[in-house]
């Protein structure tokens, strides 16, 4: 039980309020060494409770250290940021912060969120209050470290790095490196300095020799001191490495990856399918077979948005989640899907990693994932925490990468996993939906025109507001010190593209 982990009463009360009955395996394995002050290097399958595995010992450490002003949990005179948690995406950071707030409900420990897409001034004000815990994405953390007056990392005692392999894949190695260098370092005997809790889907020994593995190795070497290694649910689910890699057998191996044990996998063959054909199959599934609590994954943002338009026109309640949406819209989409206001979440891989949306029944891969690791993280949105779930993939067997995926999925279904099931959609139903989609073309065009006008109006309003603000606060703006940027947007995009290209994508 959680009581056996020697957690304080305020945390046990919060855990009970969240409905957590017993520790998950990764929590039971990671919390004791973390409470003992050891660095932890953890790996666990998706939906395994990793946030609790690192945040519970963090909160317990803050509680044991005394009240605010003496190094404790609250803000106030003498308070400081003592915990920095880094996550690769805004959505994951928001989710982690939400869990942190819930766990700290009865402790008085303060926390703040620092991510892109939300107002800088609001975040800087929160950081000036010196919250004990800051949950952040690396780019925004570096921005605040360089530019937010009165906030720094000199008092950080615990550094949490979650989804470390994803951080490397997204090109955040340099930003994470700067943050690791900014926190107090441990001496050679391990005394003093920061405690690091690092979690990753792949770890050295399984990560292979790709660029992501090399950067991950370097991060582990720089950030961890004699870590306790925790690996949970590492049942090999067949060799899904290299799926979709243009290099085929010669591409870098990413090793074995684990599928949720309660997952049912289905495949629909769409030989030679056009985008319209896939849309027809998808709408047939969404209207007849899988009608609630469904996440649909697409390869491109424009495909996710096009599907969202179609779903709205045919009366299927949906929300979209991709990189073209502002942060407020992303959060609104997640809220709509989580609350049940939207039955379908139409997303790119921004939602494939780590997001814990309760009771997702089905994941549909409308477009094939780029590799086996992406497949696992997509389908891992369902069949979480021991619950059952279904993953349906639309695969074109005339495409070599998708044919390899089909073969690998069949091989991956090793006991106790169920075999991959071939599902078919009646041709007459698909043809009916295809005809309906063609008939909706004028309505789709009208929506596109309306959205274009709305976008132009928003841009004009934003530029007008900027101009008014510049005139109203000209003196204050001129007096500000110049902001320091880690990279320009163009440089950041180039690093990410180079990382993906070197990984064989």
Q: Which range is most confident: 11-20, 167-176, 265-274?
A: 11-20
How many domains does one find in the chain? 2
Largest CA distance in the chain: 72
Q: Do you know the residue count of the chain? A: 505
Which H or E element spans position 238? none
Region 485-504: mean pLDDT is 58
Q: Tell me, yes or no, whether 496 lies in a domain.
A: no
Residue 379 or residue 470, greater confidence: 379
Q: Tell me, yes or no, whether 465 lies in a domain.
A: no
Question: Which structure tokens are listed for 135?
Answer: 């949950």
Whether residues 166 and 301 share a domain: the answer is no
Which H or E element spans position 316? none
Q: Tell me, yes or no, whether 353 lies in a domain.
A: yes
Name which of 137, 158, 139 is nearest 60 in CA terms.
158
Whether residues 302 and 226 share a domain: the answer is no
Residue 241 or residue 272, greater confidence: 272
Tokens 């199959």, residue? 281
Mean pLDDT, the chain, whole residue set: 83
Asked which of 201, 232, 263 is the last residue of a domain, the reply is 232
Res 326: pLDDT: 85
Question: Which bin fits 480, alpha (ψ -120 to 50), beta or left (φ > 0)?
Answer: beta
Q: Tell me, yes or no, whether 450 lies in a domain.
A: no
Res 179: pLDDT: 96
Which percentage of the chain shows pLDDT scores above 70?
A: 79
Question: Which structure tokens are listed for 457?
Answer: 């109006």
Structural domain containing residue 370: 255-439
DSSP per-residue letters across 360-414? --EEEESS--SSHHHHHHHHTTSS-TT--EEEEEEE-TTSHHHHHHHHHHHHH--
CB 157 within 8 A of CB 83: yes
Res 243: pLDDT: 44
- For residue 264, the cross-strand partners are 390
Q: Tell me, yes or no, whether 471 lies in a domain.
A: no
Q: Which residues of 227-245 are buried (b: 16+ CB within 10 A; e: fewer)?
A: bbebebbeeebbbbbbbbb
Helix, strand, coil % in the chain, rounded to nearest 5: 45, 10, 40
Give the three-state DSSP class for 154: coil
Whether residues 219 and 131 share a domain: the answer is yes
pLDDT-derived band at 416, boundaries 50, 70, 90: low
Number of Cβ within a 10 Å radius of residue 4: 10
CB 172 within 8 A of CB 115: no
Res 366: pLDDT: 96
Whether residues 102 and 170 share a domain: the answer is yes
Asked which of 420, 439, 458 is the last residue of a domain, the reply is 439
pLDDT-derived band at 248, boundaries 50, 70, 90: very low
Give the DSSP letter of residue 252: P
Q: Tell me, yes or no, whether 276 lies in a domain.
A: yes
Res 280: pLDDT: 95
Whether residues 182 and 307 share a domain: the answer is no
Whether residues 289 and 204 share a domain: the answer is no
Whether residues 70 and 148 share a domain: the answer is yes
Q: Tell me, yes or no, whether 501 lies in a domain.
A: no
Asked which of 185, 201, 232 is the last residue of a domain, the reply is 232
- Burial group, residue 313, by CB count within 10 angstroms (0-12, 13-18, 19+): middle
pLDDT-derived band at 187, boundaries 50, 70, 90: low
Whether residues 355 and 424 share a domain: the answer is yes
Whether residues 171 and 291 share a domain: the answer is no
Residue 278 sits in a domain whose CATH number is: 3.40.50.300
Residue 188 has pLDDT above 60, yes or no: no
Flag the least confident range among 36-45, 122-131, 200-209: 200-209
Q: Tell me, yes or no, whether 237 lies in a domain.
A: no
Region 277-297: mean pLDDT is 95
Whether residues 175 and 144 share a domain: the answer is yes
The predicted-structure confidence for 332-388, as pLDDT tens digits, reads as follows: 999 999 999 999 999 998 766 667 777 899 999 999 998 877 888 888 888 876 788
Region 314-325: mean pLDDT is 93
Whether residues 105 and 15 share a domain: the answer is yes
Region 295-322: mean pLDDT is 95
Whether residues 213 and 273 share a domain: the answer is no
Region 309-320: mean pLDDT is 96
Q: Which residues of 442-455 are buried (b: 16+ CB within 10 A; e: fewer)?
A: eeeeebeeeeeeee
């Amino acid at each position: 039980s959680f009581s056996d982990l020697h957690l304080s009463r305020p945390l046990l009360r919060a855990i009970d309020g969240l409905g957590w009955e017993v520790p998950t395996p990764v929590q039971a394995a990671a919390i004791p060494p973390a409470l003992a002050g050891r660095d932890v290097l953890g790996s666990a399958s998706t939906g395994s409770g990793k946030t609790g595995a690192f945040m519970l010992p963090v909160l317990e450490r803050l509680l044991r250290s005394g009240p605010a002003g003496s190094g404790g949990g609250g803000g106030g005179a003498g308070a400081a940021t003592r915990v920095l948690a880094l996550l690769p995406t805004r959505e994951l950071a928001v989710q982690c912060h939400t869990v942190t707030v819930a766990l700290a409900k009865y402790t008085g420990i303060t926390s703040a969120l620092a991510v892109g897409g939300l107002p800088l001034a609001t975040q800087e004000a929160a950081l000036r209050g010196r919250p004990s815990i800051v949950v952040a994405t690396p780019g925004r953390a570096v921005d605040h470290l360089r530019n937010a007056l009165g906030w720094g990392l000199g008092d950080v005692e615990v550094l949490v790095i979650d989804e470390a392999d994803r951080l490397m894949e997204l090109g955040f190695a340099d930003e994470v490196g700067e943050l690791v260098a900014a926190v107090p370092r441990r001496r050679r005997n391990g005394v003093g300095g920061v405690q690091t809790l690092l979690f990753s889907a792949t770890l050295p020994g399984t990560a292979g020799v790709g660029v992501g593995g090399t950067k991950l190795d370097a991060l582990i070497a720089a950030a961890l001191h004699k870590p306790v290694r925790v690996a949970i649910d590492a049942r090999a689910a067949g060799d899904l490495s290299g799926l979709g890699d243009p290099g085929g057998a010669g591409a870098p191996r990413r090793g074995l990856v684990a599928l949720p044990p309660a997952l049912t996998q289905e495949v629909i063959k769409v030989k030679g399918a056009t985008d319209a054909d896939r849309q027809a199959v998808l709408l047939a599934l969404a209207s007849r077979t899988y009608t609630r609590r469904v996440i649909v994954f697409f390869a491109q943002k424009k495909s996710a948005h096009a599907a969202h338009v179609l779903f709205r026109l045919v009366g299927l309640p949906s929300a979209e989640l991709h990189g073209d949406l502002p942060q407020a819209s992303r959060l609104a989409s997640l809220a709509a899907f989580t609350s049940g206001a939207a039955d379908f979440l139409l997303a790119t891989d921004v939602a494939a990693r780590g997001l814990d949306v309760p009771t997702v029944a089905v994941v549909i891969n409308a477009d094939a994932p780029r590799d086996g690791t992406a497949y696992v993280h997509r389908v891992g949105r369902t069949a979480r925490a021991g619950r059952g779930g279904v993953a349906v993939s639309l695969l074109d067997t005339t495409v070599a990468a998708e044919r390899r995926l089909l073969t690998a999925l069949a091989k991956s279904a090793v006991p106790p996993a169920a075999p991959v099931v071939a599902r078919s959609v009646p041709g007459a139903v698909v043809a009916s939906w295809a005809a309906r989609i063609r008939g909706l073309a004028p309505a789709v065009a009208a929506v596109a025109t309306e959205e274009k006008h709305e976008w132009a109006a928003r841009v004009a309003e934003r530029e007008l507001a900027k101009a008014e603000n510049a005139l109203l606060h000209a003196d204050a703006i001129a007096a500000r010190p110049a902001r320091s940027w880690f990279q320009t947007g163009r440089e950041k995009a180039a690093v990410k593209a180079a990382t993906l290209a070197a990984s064989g994508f």
